[in-house]
A and B are shown apart, each in its own frame.
Chain A
Amino acid sequence: MIRFLFRRIALTLPTFVALMFVTFVAIRLVPGDPVEVRVGEHGISPERLAEFRHQLGLDQPVWKQFFDYVWRLLHGDFGTSVVTNQKVLTEFFTLFPATLELAFCALIFAVGIGIPAGAIAAVKRGSTYDHTLMGMSLTGYSMPIFWWGLLLVMFFSERLGWTPVSGRIDLIQYYFEPVTGFMLIDALLSDQPGAFWSALSHLALPAIVLGTIPLAIIARMTRSSMLEVLNEDYVRTARAKGLPPWRVIGLHALRNALIPVITIIGLQVGGLMGGAVLTEYIFAWPGVGHWLIDAISRRDYPALQGGIMLISSIVIIVNLFVDVLYGTVNPRIRHGR
């Protein structure tokens, strides 16, 4: 097990190096730099332009900028935002709880509905329910997040008035200092009646929007994995033994069918982080996705580089964790068989 763990960790190192390089280069391929974005048509004297570029290190050769960036990163320095002058790490961890809360709730929504829906579809294979569910999951998977988000806002918030349009809590009714950064927990800690429900109602639509694609994937994966397992001998044996159907499906079949689904859930973390960028923008959700979009428009190189590195690190670590978990659940993987 330890050898497996070391092998997996060793494999992540080239990923980190490639990530550093791609992040650095990709940002610089976008036209305009932090100085140009600031200048506008007002123009600027050549001396001030040179001073700005020097302050930001943009007057250095690109290779030197890259090595400086890697050197700082290796020392745990993610840089300072050129816009806010705050440490990138501080900004990231101020906003990360909001993204984590949203992603976690979206995942609960996706897993909580996706697994039972996929299992039922497999059991009722070929039925109207199966066809409808698979049709819906295909639609959910193909849905552009931006469009889907706005559609839900128009229907549930504008037309029906059931949910708030955006934000994390009713700003006029409730005010408390953040303690954990997780609004649901902070609302409970605030002791303000109704604050928790306000936070929950604000979270509902963004979590549904962000969870839709993972839900579709998990449902489809559970269905196909269940179909495979339902034909196994041990399931037939369990049925032959006269076990009740819920016990055969719930205990014998589903438990084994979930092994590949665990990997899929792990892979969704990357998708959730990517989806969070758009979801947070639509719902004015103050997470790292929203922050990254701001950084792109302002060409805030340190914030962008640092933010992408941190998010990617989280995705890599979660995938590593899932691999290890999978190795534990399925020893054949661990032993390379």
Chain B
Amino acid sequence: MKPGLLMTTLGMAMAMCLAAGAANAKALVYCLEGSPENFNPALTTTNTSLDASRHVFDQLVEFERGTTNLIPGLAESWEFSDGGKTVTFHLRKGVKFGAVKDFTPTRDFNADDVLFSFNRQLKADHPYHMVTGGKFDTFNDMDMGKIIQSIEKKDDYTVVFHLSEPNAPFMANLAMDFASIGSAEYADALTKKGTPEVIDQVPVGTGPYSFVAYQKDTVIRFKARPDYFRGKPAIDDYIISIVPDPTVRFAKLKAGECTLMGFPRPSDLPEMEKDKNLQVMHQAGLNVAYWTFNEQKKPFDDVRVRRALIMAIDKAAIIRDVYGNTGQAAKNPIPPTIWSYNDDVKDYPYDTEKAKALLKEAGVTTPLDIDLWYMPVQRPYNPNPKRIGEMMQADLSKIGVNAKLVTYEWGEYRKRLQQGEAMTGQLGWTGDNGDPDNFFFLLGCNAARDGGQNIARFCDNGYEGMLQKARQSTDKEERAQLYEQMQTIAHDQAVWFTIAHSVVYEIAKANLTGYKISPLGRHEFAGADLK
């Protein structure tokens, strides 16, 4: 065989192999409902934006996929000392950062990266603090600036966090996206180039995928990292296609242009469930919708009145008529996906006669005029506040309570409600980090103030003592027991009429395996595969 012919044949063979390799590469398309604001999880607050950068990064501690349990991430282990005020993290060795088009890392992850990522948010004089506007909303919303006194590098693989007070939810905070660890070496390289802002547009992290490209409002591309410390993900190309309309997302899923979509239209669910090429996954969302009574206003200072009103409402009818299959009745202030959920609590029955008797026992003369505030907007936990308000109004009239429906523009509504203006009002909560404290603080004494989140103005010494004790304990068992008792108190004191937890649906092609729906609303594909 002539050398030229041999080379040509070999070249063709290689090209065919490469083509075959490319054809065998597994690609997953996730249809995302909106465009990301940027690619720094510390600078965004919405799950839509966080989903766009999540796979590039890791945190010191992480949420176990599909749960709110904490597992080691970039920190292999940690210990508390100084009565819970000092946390020492022992970092994982040999962890590589991903490469991007204009940057190839030359060193492994170490303590400098942890210091860079936190100090950027903590210190206003940090050179990267004001890059991209300096709005570290989640860091500030979670009071991290007050909780963390300082961060110290003991050696390349040991970092010590000094806290202002013992704070058990701190660990769950560290598993949130805002606590993602970026590369200090990358920041230095960008500073030298004079383009520091690129750090938030072309992300570099230790996560399972490296960022390839973003075409605004169209597509985000990621490539699986063979050197990822947990092993290369099964899906080679992770593609995010931005599709805002749920009907179009569903059409794309059916046509095979998407592998997974979130936020389907409830009316499409029956068709989705019938389709054998699709799998419908669902889970209770990390939220709660409630209707509460201002205990500083008469007659709601009497627990019997609160119980009467709770028993007058037909919760099952609200779930059936308003939520359909997108909500499940709530009986506790926390959703069942959060550890420490007390399933032994028995919800109040719908019993109009008992409700009337309780009102009579409390000395309330009917007709009783009250106001019932309903939210002017839909929320993830409440698809139709006005309709729910009307149903409550109708039920209350059966026990002689005339409820006047009141609402305001959303900002105004919240402000007035938090100032204690309403007698009774609807609201809800969406959890941040899966820690029970993130829900239970809503009924704490500190929040029962003007502008606070505790619009019931409930302040019970027993409850408050347990809340503080649980916050300072690092023993999960002990915390769980305290939270279970607090749920019993909240129930017995009839603080809230707990309406529902939304049910989150995600729809995927039938060939997607190993994917776990997250109670935190995340979309994580590192453990997923395609059949």
Contacts and interface: CB of A to CB of B under 8 A. Distances in A.
Interface in B227-250: 237, 239, 241-245, 247-248
B35 A294 contact: yes
Contacts of A123: none
Contact of B251 (A94, A154, A286): A154
A283 B245 CA distance: 8
Contact of A94 (B216, B243, B427): B216
A161 B217 contact: no
Contact of A286 (B135, B137, B218, B430): B218
Interface stretch (A5-13, A111-119, A166-174, A210-218): A166-174
B418 A43 contact: yes
Contact of B215 (A42, A157, A286): A286
B217 A167 contact: no
Nearest to A167: B241
B241 A286 contact: no
A77 interface: no
B451 A165 contact: no
A50 interface: no
Given A94-B216, A165-B251, A43 B453 contact: yes
Nearest to B138: A42
A293 B430 contact: no
A178 B251 contact: no
Interface in B150-201: none
B121 to A, nearest CB: 14
B45 interface: yes
B84 interface: no
Contacts of B245: 281-282, 284
Given A41-B414, A150-B247, A286-B242, 10 more contacts: A33-B411, A41-B430, A95-B217, A161-B255, A167-B218, A167-B241, A167-B243, A283-B248, A286-B217, A290-B217
A59 to B, nearest CB: 15
B213 interface: yes
A191 interface: no
A288 to B, nearest CB: 9
Residue from the set A177, A283, A286 with the largest chain B CB neighbour count within 10 Å: A286
Contacts of B432: 42
A172 B414 contact: no
B242 A284 contact: yes
A165 B217 contact: no
Contact of A178 (B132, B215, B248, B452): B215
A48 interface: yes
Interface string A31-71: 11100101111111010100000010000000000000000
Contacts of B85: none
Interface of B: 27, 29, 34-35, 37-38, 45, 132-133, 135, 137, 140-141, 213, 215-219, 221, 237, 239, 241-245, 247-248, 251-252, 254-255, 257, 379, 409-411, 414, 418, 427-430, 432, 451-453
A291 interface: yes
B216 A32 contact: no
Contacts, number: 112
B244 A293 contact: yes
B133 A85 contact: yes
B248 A153 contact: yes
22 contacts: A32-B409, A40-B430, A43-B453, A48-B140, A55-B133, A154-B251, A158-B251, A166-B243, A166-B251, A166-B252, A167-B219, A167-B243, A171-B241, A172-B239, A178-B215, A283-B248, A284-B248, A286-B217, A286-B242, A290-B244, A291-B217, A294-B34
A84 interface: yes
B37 A157 contact: no
B216 A41 contact: no
A171 B432 CA distance: 33
A321 B184 CA distance: 53
A38 B137 contact: yes
A294 B32 CA distance: 14
B215 A43 contact: no
Interface string A145-182: 00000100110011001001111100110010110000
B29 A171 contact: yes
A101 interface: no
A168 B257 CA distance: 12
Given A284-B242, A284-B248, A42 B141 contact: yes
Contact of A41 (B29, B247, B428): B428
Nearest to B38: A84
Nearest to B255: A165
A83 interface: yes
B428 A171 contact: no
Contacts of B35: 294
Contacts of A36: 410-411
A32 B427 contact: no
B418 A164 contact: no
Interface string A236-269: 0000000000000000000000000000000000
Given A44-B141, A48-B140, A175 B257 contact: no
Contacts of B219: 167, 171
Contacts of A33: 411
A89 to B, nearest CB: 14
A82 to B, nearest CB: 8
Given A32-B410, A91-B216, A290-B217, A282 B37 contact: no
